[in-house]
Amino acid sequence: MNDAFGKSPGNRSAIRKGPFYAANISTANKYSVTQVFTLGGLEVDERTGGVVDASGMAIADAFSGRRAGSAAAERGL
């Protein structure tokens, strides 16, 4: 069976027993949690809390905040 999302057979399995639930997490839902966190976001050097570019190089004077900057919080910064 081909998978529309490109998953290999070893990384998927049928869900056969319910109950099943769904949640509307689209941005059209004003109560959705997706409006309070990023889907992707910054790439961070976990050692320093600094933001890095696509090649992994630090962006000068760019630091992350909140969860993305967990390394900085762990170091007491």
The residues facing 44 across adjacent strands are 51
Cα distance between residue 2 and residue 34, in whole Å: 30
* pTM over 0.75, yes/no: no
User: What is the share, in percent, of the chain residues with pLDDT greater than 70?
Assistant: 69
Q: What is the mean pLDDT of residues 17-37?
A: 77
Only one residue has tokens 């109560």, namely: 31
**26 has a pLDDT exceeding 80:** no
3-class state of residue 77 by DSSP: coil
Out of 8-12, 27-31, 35-39, 46-50, which region has the weakest mean confidence (pLDDT)? 35-39
Q: Where are the domains of the chain?
A: 40-77
